[in-house]
Amino acid sequence: MPESPLTSTESALDRRVHDWLDRTSSTGWRSWLVEFVAFTAKQAWACVFGAAMLAVIFAARLWWPDSAPLVRNDALTLAAVVIQIIMVAARLETLRELRVVILFHVVGTGMELFKTAVGSWAYEETGVLRLGHVPLFSGFMYAAVGSYLVRVYRLFDLRFERYPRQWATVAVATAIYVNFFSHHYIVDLRWVITAVVAVVFGRCVMYFRIFRRRLRMPLLLGFGLVAVFIWLAENIATWSRAWSYPSQTAGWHLVSPSKLGSWFLLMIISVVMVAWVYPPRPPDVAEPVADRDLTAAGR
């Protein structure tokens, strides 16, 4: 029997929600409204780790007193640890998925150590729970991206048509990660790498299930949409003084839209790491797009 795509907690919630959804209209505008509500709910559920982190950062900006015995950065780190423990203990995240979340943490912290050293952005120099200039909660923000991707993979039962060969995706992801460091010393190759990404992933189509319907979109479009939402979250985080860019030292303003390109490339690295836990699967040829009920697909 194939492994359930949901954790035990999610399976219990799934059964209750479907008791209601199965009785809703399957045709007309009401059917599409149900699909939209289901899509929004699944996205919100997939974002639970990142949303909790962002809420804590936002709340600390508004209400954490400067005179508190525990400095804000350390409080954010401890809060992030508690959120991660709850995610696993409440079976909202599997131990298998925790591996890729930890990998995101390690990869992200490595980049943070370098980027703060060269002045790309900066954190407040407070607290003891940090490495060099980097508070430990920063790694959890990358982990939030990993958590979202592994959760969205199974919640939407993602399938891929014409997914690139593994060696090609690993090579591109490695080039992106190296360029994040090397462009400070040699020519910046991000636009060349972006063109290579378009060639490697350009033919790939992603299929995703909402409720009754399975829809599809170009994978590159999916990367771009996620990058936009990360950029929006980044604006909230910088406003909350979680970190700041050099141009924001005199006062906060929107993060440059040019960062969208960096987040887009980060999506490539992220997807390659998630593929380590969930190898990309092709679409089910027996299942027509936008036609089959969720209850017939592995509940």
Predicted local confidence at residue 19, as pLDDT: 67
Predicted local confidence at residue 3, as pLDDT: 44
The pTM (predicted TM-score) of the whole model is 0.83
The tokens describing 77, both together, are: 């780190």
One pLDDT digit (tens) per residue for the chain, 299 residues: 234 466 666 666 666 666 666 666 666 667 778 788 888 888 888 899 999 999 999 999 999 988 889 999 999 999 999 999 998 888 888 887 888 888 898 989 999 999 999 999 999 878 899 998 899 999 999 999 988 998 888 888 899 999 999 999 999 999 999 999 999 999 999 999 999 999 999 999 999 988 777 889 999 999 999 999 999 999 999 999 899 999 998 889 999 998 999 999 998 999 988 888 788 999 876 555 554 433 333 33
Q: Any idea of the CA torsion for 164, 169, 172, 173, to the nearest 10 degrees?
A: 150
Predicted local confidence at residue 9, as pLDDT: 67
Predicted local confidence at residue 163, as pLDDT: 95
User: What are the structural domain ranges in the chain?
Assistant: 10-296
Predicted local confidence at residue 232, as pLDDT: 94
Cα–Cα distance between 197 and 191 in angstroms, integer?
10
Predicted local confidence at residue 6, as pLDDT: 66
Predicted local confidence at residue 292, as pLDDT: 42
Cα–Cα distance between 64 and 123 in angstroms, integer?
16
Predicted local confidence at residue 286, as pLDDT: 56
